[in-house]
Chains A and B, each alone.
Chain A
Amino acid sequence: MNPPSTRQDSQVDRTSANGAPSPLEIHDLTVAYHKKPVLYGIDLTVPAGTLVGIIGPNGAGKSTLIKAIMGQLPATSGWVRIFGQSFKEACTRVGYVPQRESVDWDFPVSVMDVVLMGRYGRLGLFKRPRLEDHDIARACLEKVKMLPFASRQIGNLSGGQQQRVFLARALAQESDLYLMDEPFAGVDAATESAIVMLLQELKTRGKTLLVVHHDLATAKDYFDNLLLLNMRLVAFGKTADVFTQEILQKTYGGRLTILSEVADTVRRQT
């Protein structure tokens, strides 16, 4: 006879009723700046252990999508669930690499300090990074080949090196879901392929990654899934299925999609 299930068991049952909750589930998400929508009705469920490339033209709303997932921008409608929870509840499970220009490079922090910031979420209020956190930070720097620069002030690095430091910081977060905004911007080819290897390794360890990427030529080889975005979700699926002439045309095509045309008209009127 089985003992009656404990409270913990029932909780596990609840979340795993139809498999574990998806790392990222977005329903009918609309985001607006100053009342002008830039993302319309995004519906999306990302399975665990996938490496997703987000592609779309400039101003398509890629950065906006990432910020909205992290609750940094309020949604006009819809919701985002991360591992079945709100972002606030699940924030320690999410790692983030910002688009480069959002940072003050004169800031008095060393490379090591920046990577240690990745540990802050786990430490919580008041606690200082421990020896263990320093070890993890050092290991992450080693992975992106930046350990020799650990004590450098971050402004004294090349653009590609800075990008690798932010990658190391995201690694130090030891998250399950990674959101990366153009991690390849300004990186040389050797570094780029090293980063791709790293992303693929994370994927095989069961992590889920969403990576904004600009280069269509390499997108097909880097990512097993693609999310094509232009104000609305044009397509999301296996690279082989969605990387087609027709869908790319729809995303990038000389003609704007109908929705963005509507938005433009509205914008002109207000």
Chain B
Amino acid sequence: MSLIPPFDFQRVFVEPWAEGGALHGWILAMAVLVGMACGLVGNYLLLRRMALIGDAISHSVLPGLVLAFMLAHSRHIGVMFAGALAAGLVTVFLIEFIHKKSRVKPDAAICITFTTLFAIGVVLTSLIDKGGLHIDAECILYGEIAFVPLEPPVKILGRALGPQPVLQMLGVTAGVVVLIVLFYKELLASSFDPGLTASLGFNVTAMHYGLMAALSIVVVSAFEAVGAIMVVAMLIIPGMTAAQLSDHLATRHWLVGVHSILSGLLGLHLSVWLNCSMAGAMVLTGAGFFVLAWLFSPSQGMIHRWRRPDAPGDTVSQFQ
């Protein structure tokens, strides 16, 4: 039992905010923003049965970043975004190309594409290292949210606004929200029935690549700061939790927001208690909420099904 430190309410819930409150505030803000941005995009990935694409893009972004870095000799955020965007779109294009032009199934096409791109990234990284430039693949893959407040702050008119990754993530999350508000009906229809949506005169391909572009941007801006585990997990877990609780897309979006606040907050306290990785604790908490939703969902939870085994079928008998 010595593995698990004793639970002390004062130490776990009060002290983080009494001492170093600002520090924890920034961490929490980052966690919530990452959860929201990833979860909102993730809602659409789930609807389009593209959960694996998030995984793929979060790996294949590496060669994009390295190439952008080699070409521009800068780690400016515009350069990084351009690299990530290009890598994300190339990934999606390659996956579709392989899938369409051969008998390879989509899951296999995804795997071969992103592992190959990732390997290119690894090779490029070691080439750069030999050339005297240094890029830290470890850091790109295993960022840790606890270090976010230590990043240099953004200053406007001499006043420090906050750590650069948090503000950047705030911008990206706001962008995602604006896009979803603007294109809610187009995204809904093209995810549900691309054939019909195209026949109504909307550009379904543009929607698809737009979503993938947004995913690449979200992934790359979350990624460096919070690490791959958290990004990949947050793309899927909030959306899956919301899916257990609601059959309405807009409600699912709100639930993703609630999920990211709760899992960020409780995950932070869990990591203080267990003295463990914050990103890991937040992901675990998020997964815990998924299990709760899965068990207790009023409409489709395990408990509900167990008590009313015929639940989903009850509607057919009402047919005239």
Contact = CB atoms under 8 A, between A and B. Distances in A.
A88 B312 CA distance: 40
Interface residues of B, number: 31
A160 interface: yes
B185 A108 contact: no
Interface of A is mostly: mixed
B193 A94 contact: no
Interface string A91-121: 1101010100011100111100110010011
B182 A126 contact: yes
Contacts, number: 87
Interface in B54-112: none
A153 B183 CA distance: 22
Contacts of B202: 120-121, 125
A94 B186 CA distance: 18
B185 A129 contact: yes
Nearest to B314: A156
B188 A113 contact: yes
Interface in B160-198: 182-186, 188-189, 191-193, 195-198
B200 interface: yes
A96 B196 contact: yes
A103 B193 CA distance: 6
A120 B197 contact: yes
A103 B246 CA distance: 19
A88 B188 CA distance: 21
Interface stretch (B247-255, B261-269, B290-298, B302-310): B247-255
A157 interface: yes
Given A102-B193, A108-B248, A88 B201 contact: yes
Contacts of A129: 185
A204 interface: no
B157 interface: no
Nearest to B47: A107
Interface in B39-56: 47, 49
B200 A120 contact: yes
Question: Chain A interface residue count: which class?
Answer: 35 or more
A108 B196 contact: no
A205 interface: no
B199 interface: yes
B310 to A, nearest CB: 13
A255 interface: no
Contacts of B200: 91-92, 117, 120-121, 173
A109 B188 contact: yes
A80 B47 CA distance: 33
A156 B312 contact: yes
B185 A120 contact: yes
Nearest to A107: B192
A7 interface: no
Contacts of A157: 315
A91 B182 CA distance: 22
B189 A117 contact: yes
Contacts of A153: 247
A136 interface: no
Contacts of A120: 185-186, 189, 197, 200, 202
Given A107-B47, A120-B202, A156-B315, A98 B195 contact: yes
A159 to B, nearest CB: 9
A72 B188 contact: no
25 contacts: A71-B198, A72-B199, A92-B200, A102-B193, A102-B195, A103-B192, A103-B193, A107-B191, A107-B192, A108-B247, A109-B188, A110-B247, A110-B248, A114-B192, A117-B185, A120-B200, A121-B199, A125-B186, A125-B202, A126-B183, A128-B185, A152-B315, A155-B312, A156-B315, A190-B320
Interface of A: 67, 70-72, 88, 91-92, 94, 96, 98, 102-104, 107-110, 113-114, 117, 120-121, 123, 125-126, 128-129, 152-153, 155-158, 160-161, 169, 173, 190
Interface of B: 47, 49, 182-186, 188-189, 191-193, 195-202, 243, 246-249, 252, 312, 315-316, 319-320
Given A102-B193, A108-B47, A117-B189, 13 more contacts: A72-B195, A72-B198, A91-B199, A91-B200, A92-B200, A96-B196, A103-B193, A108-B247, A110-B247, A110-B248, A117-B196, A161-B319, A173-B200
